[in-house]
């Protein structure tokens, strides 16, 4: 199991807070934090690298702008997070911009 001290080393900024005490996390919290960093790296970035074999880098780069839309959807479905009107509007604007950027008219 990961030691909480491993994660604490990345938070040296917290030393400047009043009292200079760092938060203590349980080993389970540390494991989840580690997995939250590791899993998106393995799956997401590997998938992007793989897609670059078949699509232009511009297309892949523009498509990643839609990532917050997927995060909002996952939060809504899995975590029962509310989606207010501003967030929904932002997702619509982002999706429209991505689709317009990816649109290639047929000649």
Residue that wins the pLDDT comparison between 80 and 16: 80
pTM: 0.58
- What tokens were used for 8? 């604490």
What is the DSSP-derived secondary structure letter of residue 80?
Answer: -
* Alpha-carbon distances, residue 73 vs 29, 38, 41, 60, 62 (angstroms): 24, 21, 19, 20, 19
Q: What is the pLDDT of residue 1?
A: 46
Separation of alpha carbons 107 and 100, rounded Å: 17
Q: What is the pLDDT of residues 37-54, one digit of tens each?
A: 888 788 888 888 999 999
């Amino acid at each position: 199991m990961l030691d909480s001290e491993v994660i604490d080393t990345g938070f040296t900024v917290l030393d400047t807070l009043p009292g200079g005490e760092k938060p203590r996390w349980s080993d389970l919290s540390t494991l989840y934090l580690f997995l939250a960093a590791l899993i998106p790296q393995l799956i997401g970035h590997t998938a992007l690298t793989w897609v670059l074999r078949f699509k232009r880098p511009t297309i892949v780069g523009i498509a990643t702008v839609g990532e917050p839309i997927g995060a909002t959807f996952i939060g809504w479905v899995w975590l029962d997070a509310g989606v207010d009107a501003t967030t929904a509007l932002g997702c619509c604007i982002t999706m429209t911009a991505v689709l317009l950027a990816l649109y290639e008219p047929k000649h």
